[in-house]
Amino acid sequence: MNGSVKKLRFDFAVLTSHVLPMTNISADTPIPFAGDGLDHAEYQRSPEQLQAFMKKTSARAILLHKGRIGIGDGGRPHRIHPADLVGHDLMAPGPVFLGLEGERPIFAFSVANPTAFMPEENFVSLRGIGGNLSPADLALAGRAKSLFAWHHIEKHCVSCGGKTVARDGGIKQKCTGCGAESFPRVSPVAIMLVTDGDRVLLGRGPGWPEGFMSALAGFVSPGETIEEAAQREVLEEAGIKTQNARYVFSQPWPFPAQLMMGFILEAVTTDITLDPKELEDARWFTRDEILAVFEKRGNAFACPPRQTIAHQLLRQWLAETA
């Protein structure tokens, strides 16, 4: 394992378990955290246009606080008119324009004092409520969370260290020193379902709650393709050689801004040699065992929640091998 390459860690602190029908996700099921339904309006982001959007009667804003989403009545992200934010302390970079929902401009604000709007406990982690939001609300909230995280993390220019300021409604930054422009960072991660006939390899990271198993995953390293990253990570973490890495689908993962790229690979070797720094356990599970877990009549392992791509990859494989 290259020490400079960070590893992905799923946080299983809060889990909700859902059973979904065995359908092909790419055909009729939205990818979690994708499909916000907005026109991102990349060419309607001049200061004048944004002001006009903000003043529209139909405009709405969702609220965040420290990366948590304000949830209102009905369990949806709470929406207020942007004018109702006047006079309140806002976190950098101020209003973020998420896009147009039909004709309705949608903004996001990160508020310094959440209790001015609702009880603080109504600001909820997307990890905890992700499975309960509609696909469009989940995608909208995830996009807002990633954009605010970017502005929070990258306050300074990577070239000269100058202070950066938001442009274009928060989808761009400009350095006040050298003038360089920068754009939201998205890190590609390969996540892999390794198959051996009717078996699938699942693993668990050190310290995960007892019983939880998931697909192996890792960040892409400079100079390699996503397929190479997928095969390298499986070899490094579990000692298994693979072939025919097949891309299935991808998923935005806003913790803070990964693009999870899902693969199904075929095992060439099947003996597991764990890298204990990366994995506490890895095992082969039969299709019957996995199907039983999804249908809640078996407990060979605890399944990742449905808003994770690991869950969706398993579901996809079950559908393909039915």
Q: Give the range of 3-11, 67-75, 173-181, 250-258 binding Zn ion by CB under 5 A.
A: 173-181
Task: Give the residue among 188, 313, 303 at the shortest CA–CA distance from 253.
Answer: 188
Tell whether residue 173 is a contact of Zn ion (CB under 5 A): no
| CB closer to Zn ion, 22 vs 178 | 178
User: Is the Cα torsion angle 75, 80, 84, 85 positive or negative in sign?
Assistant: positive
Question: 209's torsion region: left (phi>0), alpha (psi -120 to 50) or beta?
Answer: beta
Q: CA–CA separation, 285 vs 128, rounded Å?
A: 27
Amino acid at 211: G
Tell whether residue 265 is a contact of Zn ion (CB under 5 A): no
Q: Give the range of 74-82, 153-161, 195-203, 217-225 binding Zn ion by CB under 5 A.
A: 153-161
| CB closer to Zn ion, 175 vs 267 | 175
Q: Give the range of 75-83, 162-170, 209-217, 238-246 binding Zn ion by CB under 5 A.
A: 162-170
The Cβ of residue 189 has, within 10 Å, a number of other Cβ atoms equal to 25
Q: How far is the CB of 165 from Zn ion (least distance, A)?
A: 11
DSSP state of 112: S
Site string for Zn ion, 106-145 (x = CB under 5 A): ----------------------------------------
Tell whether residue 180 is a contact of Zn ion (CB under 5 A): yes
Amino acid at 232: R
Helix, strand, or coil (residue 129): helix
Query: For the CA atoms of the chain, what is the radius of gyration?
Result: 21
Q: Give the range of 26-34, 169-177, 267-275, 278-286 binding Zn ion by CB under 5 A.
A: 169-177
Contacts with Zn ion, residue ranges (CB under 5 A): 157, 159-160, 162, 175, 177-178, 180
